[in-house]
Amino acid sequence: MTDLAIKNRSSRLVSPSLHGANCGGFTLVEMLIALVLSSVIFVSAYQVMSNLIQYQVRAAKKQVMQQDQLLLRNLFSQIVGKSLHQSSLYFRIQKSPLFIGQSDRLQLISRAYSDHFDEPGYRVYSLYRQDKNLMVAYRKYDKEGIQDEPLVMATGLEIDQISFEYLGQGGWLEQWPDNKEFPQKIKVKLTLPNQREFEWINGSGQF
């Protein structure tokens, strides 16, 4: 076999391997396509995650709002809804009436949560705002009058503003003028963070 034949045969054996090596690499166009596809997938995944996070935030805020609303409804339904008619108390035990209706503070006698105390009975409750917290203070009350020092509790509900209104013969009033008579209705208005507003009127039990 001549040298020329050997060279031709060697070139035929080497050429396929070199050709295969060139086919195994990525061209510039292929790399650009891959980069575009990766960017599209990344943007789509980011939008999905962003929407999911926003949904979870909205759901959490809605849950907090529902919990606040339930707490307020239960609190006012108990204290205001179960209050003792002031005229009956005034004439029955001949004590000075304790109903005080102000624009930013309410004090009344109620049997609210009576079953939870060691000694069931009426207590003098006060509702007011202090340091952006809705506060409840109460004292025991019996035939001898007010007993003990008031026990003050924070409800854990943050409020920006609270106001009370009282329904009399002439309409709604911000100050109740005669504490010997009980108002026909009591309205409570609260402004919570994020400008959420609640309104409750005793007797309706609804915000």
Residue 5: inside a domain: no
Range of the domain at 169: 67-201
Burial environment of residue 86 by CB neighbours within 10 A (0 to 12, 13 to 18, 19 or more): buried
| pLDDT tens, position by position, 86-120 | 555 554 554 556 788 899 999 888 877 766 677 77
Does residue 175 belong to any structural domain of this protein?
yes
The number of domains in the chain is 1
Rounded to two decimals, the pTM is: 0.64
Q: Is 116 inside a domain boundary?
A: yes
Domain annotation covers residue 80: yes
Condensed to tens digits (0 to 9), the pLDDT of residues 44-58 reads: 888 888 888 888 877
Contact 139, 107 (CB under 8 A): no
In a domain, 3, yes or no: no
Q: Given CA atoms 143, 145, 149, 151 in this order, what sign does their dihedral have?
A: positive
Q: How far is CA 31 from CA 24, 43, 70, in A?
A: 13, 18, 58
